Amino acid sequence: MGLEKTFNLSSEIMKVSDHIEKSTFQFDTVIVNFSEKTISELLKGDYISEVPNHVFKSASNSFNVYKHNSIHNTAIFKSPIGAPSVVAFLEEITYAFSIKNIVLYGSAGVLQSDITAGKLIVPNRAFRDEGTSYHYEPCSEFIDVSNCVYVSKILDDLSIDYVQGAIWTTDAFYRETKENFELRKKQGCIAVDMEISAVQAFAKFRELNLFAFVYSADNLDSSKWDKRILGNLDIDSRIKYFKIASEIAKNLLLVLNKDNGVY
C-alpha cells in the first residue's frame, strides 16, 4: 500500500490530548516562523515575550512559545524545519492553547525568477511532494492553500508587491533534481518549500485557518544553484516580514471580534 491509500478516518492510536494538557493561556492565532535569528531579534526589540512554563519538547531540542507584546491573543512559535516536525508541533500547540488561526511565513527557493523577482509569494496551491499531508488529506497531486485571497488583500492594503502562485513542497531538498524542477515549473509552481502542503492538510483536517506567505531565498532558476540570501537574511528584512505576519494576525483579530471567527 502506497501513500495514495494512507488516509483514513479510523481512530487515532495516540491522541494529542493523551500527553498534552490544555493551558490556562488561550490564543486565537499563532505566528509560525523558522528562524532562531528572528526570535532573538524580536526578544531584543521587545516585540515578543516568553510564555512562562510552556516548553514543547522533541528528542533533540526544546522550543518555547512567545506572546506578541502588541497584538492581543497572538502567540509566536519558532518551528523546526520540515513538514513532519512543524505539523507535530502545531498539533500540540494549537490543542494546548485552543488556537484557530495559523499565520505561517518563511523562505522559499525560486523556480521562476522572472515572476517572483522582488516580490513576496502568496501560495494558492501546493504540490504534495512530502509524506505528512497524506495522513490528513486524501491523495492528490496538489492541495489548495486556503485564505490566499485574504493574505493578498492585506498585502494590497500595505502596498507590498507580491505574486500568487503554486508552490512545490518537498521533503528532500538535496533531491530537487533537474527533471523534477522542470516538471514542477510546467505544472505552474513558482517556488519550493518544505512545509506548506502539509500544514494546509493539517489545518483543513483539524478545522483551523491557515494564512501563508513566503519570501524568495535561494534561486534554482539559473544555470547553477544560487544561494543568494538563504540563511543570511538581514535583520531589517527579518523584522519586516514579522511585521507583515503581525499585520495579518491583527486583522484576523478584528475579523474574529466582528464575525465570531467565521472567515
CA distance 40 to 36: 6
Confirm whether 10 is domain-assigned: no
Confirm whether 7 is domain-assigned: no
Confirm whether 1 is domain-assigned: no
Q: Report the CATH number at residue 70.
A: 3.40.50.1580
What local confidence, expressed as pLDDT, does residue 222 receive? Answer: 59
Residue pair 167/192 in contact by the 8 Å Cβ criterion: yes
The torsion angles phi and psi of 220, rounded to 5 degrees, stand at -95, -15
Confirm whether 147 is domain-assigned: yes
Q: Which regions of the chain are under pLDDT 50?
A: 227, 229-230, 260-263
Confirm whether 11 is domain-assigned: no
- Domain span at 153: 23-258
Confirm whether 169 is domain-assigned: yes
Structure confidence by residue, pLDDT tens digits, 158-215: 999 999 999 999 999 899 898 998 999 999 999 999 999 999 999 999 999 999 999 9
What burial class does residue 202 get, using C-beta atoms within 10 Å of its C-beta: 0-12 exposed, 13-18 middle, 19+ buried? buried
Confirm whether 197 is domain-assigned: yes
Structural domain total, the chain: 1
Confirm whether 52 is domain-assigned: yes
